[in-house]
Structures are given as structure tokens and as C-alpha cells.
């Protein structure tokens, strides 16, 4: 895509909940790992919605244990327990990806294809592990998706988890681009805050676990990326008549022809149409 017609040079995607609706697989894997280790923890969908405000599986386990003062096996530190549980949980999650053959969220493949055809850079920036990401990219469709992404930055590359901007700052450095040349697709409040702290504009695609998050500062909040025959639902922001996310809309958001959300979020929760 030529600089003569647009400033958009790259799209940076989050992974879990953004590329694919993986969060329910993660929730189930956590609960199975707890049960197999004889720990009487069970994260309901409602609890997991709150837990997703903490990025990183090990961090989520530690935060939950600390908040609830839950017992743990003797002579095992909380850090050791979290690592052990998360390692087992990740193996269960990857098995679910392989056996469940999860698909991409609506509009993702279309946008990837449009971006690659236009010559844009495409990157992933996630708090997930490289192994989990590679497994998802291998099994999300009938053919591997890895070749779409020029840059993949994971928790194995950048230790600080979202909402730290580190993963996005590192991704920008890898791409050799400035924040005003890129736009981010995210799904959580922590991801939105991380990207915004790195100076990046964001488009949010929510799901059952994040639709009530605070997305202050995002340029647009939607239920999905949409398609020509499957319009997105605008939850906040102004799509200026667009019904699906394409490169023209992303460039318009990036160049400021569409107003970003105000710094305050609506008092009433956003309810998606059924």
C-alpha cells in the first residue's frame, strides 16, 4: 500500500479472543488442570470474565489465589504452584486446539488477506506463549496461518504482560515503524490500555468475556470485524457508515477522520443484540 494514498503500514493483532474465540477453551483447560491436581477451584464464566482483566495465565492463578486466600499444598510456594498448574493447563489447552479445530473470528481471514494483498505488514502481539500461538496458527483453519505474520511477539519474547506497553513497543521496533503508521486489533481492556500506552490506535472486537470492559481511548468498539454480508454491531465509537472493517476504515481511523472515544466510558453497560 503506497504512502501516497494512506499512512497505514501495518495491522497488529492480539491473539486470544481476537484472532479466534479461544477464551472458553482456556477457561475449561484451567478448570481441568485444577481438578487433575486435586485443587477445588472452578472458574465460572462470570469469574473468568473478571479474571481476564489480569493478563497471563500464571499471573491469573496467583491473583486468584491471593484474592481468595485459598489453601495450597504444603511446602509449595504460590509461584511454584502457579507455574505447575499453568504448564499443565497449557498442555490441556493445546490438546483442545488440536482436537477442536477452532476457527477464526468473523472477518479475520478476510482482513488478513486484504492486508497481505495490499502489501501491509501484519504482526501478532500477545501475552500468550509462543507454543500456544503456534499451535493455534497451525490448527485454526485447514491450512497454517503462520505465513501471514511477519512479526510474532509473545510472552517468551517480552516478559512484561499487558497492560504494560512493552509487547507493543517491541513489536513496533521489530517492524521498524512508528505508532502513527500502525493500528491494533484487540479484545480486552488490558490489551487496549497496553496498545494505547504505546501510542497506538485500537479497534476492539468484544466477546462474551469482554463486552463490558472499559475501552476508553479506543477508536472503535465492535462485536466483530464483520463482512460485506455480515455487518458488525457498533458498541461504541463512530464507524461513519461502514458495516465491516476493511483497510479503508482502518486508514480513516488511523488518520483521524473518525473521532476516538471519549476518555470516559458510558455509565450503562453495553448489551449486544441477540
pTM for the predicted model, two decimal places: 0.85
E-strand stretches of the chain: 10-13, 121-125, 151-153, 182-186, 201-205, 220-222, 234-237
Q: According to the model, what pLDDT value does residue 101 have?
A: 66
- Does residue 223 have an active-site annotation? no
Ranges of residues in the chain with a pLDDT under 50 are 1-5, 260, 262-274
- Does residue 14 have an active-site annotation? yes
Domains of the chain, start order: 10-21+103-254 (3.40.50.1000), 23-100 (1.10.150.240)
Number of Cβ within a 10 Å radius of residue 50: 14
Q: According to the model, what pLDDT value does residue 68 have?
A: 81
| Burial degree of 67 (CB within 10 A; 0-12, 13-18, 19+) | exposed
Q: According to the model, what pLDDT value does residue 258 have?
A: 55
Q: Which of 16, 21, 223, 246 is catalytic?
A: 16
Q: According to the model, what pLDDT value does residue 77 have?
A: 85
Q: According to the model, what pLDDT value does residue 4 have?
A: 41
Q: ω into residue 38 within 30 of 0, thus cis?
A: no
The answer to whether the CB of 218 falls within 8 A of the CB of 202 is yes
Q: CA-to-CA distance for 242 and 126, rounded, in angstroms? A: 28
Q: CA-to-CA distance for 85 and 58, rounded, in angstroms? A: 8
Q: According to the model, what pLDDT value does residue 1 have?
A: 44
Q: According to the model, what pLDDT value does residue 143 have?
A: 65
Q: Residue 230 contacts by C-beta under 8 Å, 6 or more apart in sequence?
A: 106, 107, 224, 244
Query: pLDDT per residue over 37-57, tens digit each?
Result: 988 899 999 999 989 888 889
The Cα-based distances of 53 to 49, 73, 153, 157, 228 in angstroms read: 8, 27, 20, 21, 32
Q: CA-to-CA distance for 97 and 42, rounded, in angstroms? A: 21
What DSSP line would sit under 178-191, residue for residue?
-GGGEEEEE-SHHH
Q: Which of 14, 187, 223, 246 is catalytic?
A: 14
Amino acid at each position: 500500500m503506497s504512502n501516497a494514498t494512506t499512512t497505514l503500514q501495518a495491522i497488529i493483532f492480539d491473539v486470544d479472543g481476537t484472532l479466534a474465540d479461544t477464551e472458553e477453551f482456556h477457561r475449561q483447560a484451567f478448570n481441568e488442570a485444577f481438578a487433575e491436581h486435586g485443587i477445588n477451584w472452578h472458574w465460572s464464566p462470570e469469574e473468568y470474565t473478571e479474571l481476564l482483566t489480569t493478563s497471563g495465565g500464571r499471573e491469573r492463578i496467583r491473583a486468584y489465589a491471593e484474592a481468595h486466600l485459598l489453601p495450597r499444598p504444603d511446602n509449595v510456594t504460590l509461584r511454584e504452584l502457579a507455574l505447575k498448574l499453568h504448564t499443565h493447563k497449557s498442555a490441556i489447552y493445546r490438546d483442545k486446539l488440536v482436537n477442536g479445530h477452532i476457527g477464526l473470528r468473523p472477518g479475520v481471514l478476510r482482513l488478513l488477506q486484504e492486508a497481505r494483498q495490499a502489501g501491509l505488514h501484519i504482526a501478532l502481539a500477545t501475552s500468550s506463549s509462543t507454543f500456544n500461538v503456534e499451535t493455534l496458527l497451525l490448527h485454526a483453519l485447514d491450512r497454517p496461518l503462520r505465513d501471514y505474520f511477519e512479526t510474532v511477539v509473545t510472552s517468551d519474547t517480552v516478559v512484561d504482560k499487558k497492560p504494560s506497553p512493552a509487547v507493543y513497543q517491541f513489536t513496533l521496533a521489530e517492524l521498524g515503524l512508528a505508532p502513527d503508521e500502525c493500528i491494533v486489533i484487540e479484545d480486552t481492556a488490558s490489551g487496549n490500555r497496553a496498545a494505547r500506552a504505546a501510542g497506538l490506535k485500537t479497534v476492539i472486537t468484544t466477546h462474551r468475556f469482554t463486552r463490558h470492559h472499559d475501552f476508553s481511548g479506543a477508536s472503535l468498539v465492535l462485536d466483530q470485524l464483520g463482512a460485506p454480508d455480515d455487518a458488525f454491531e457498533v458498541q461504541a465509537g463512530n464507524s461513519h457508515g461502514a458495516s465491516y472493517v476493511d483497510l479503508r476504515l482502518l486508514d480513516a481511523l488511523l488518520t483521524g477522520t473518525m473521532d476516538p472515544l471519549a476518555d470516559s466510558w458510558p455509565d450503562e453497560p453495553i448489551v449486544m443484540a441477540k
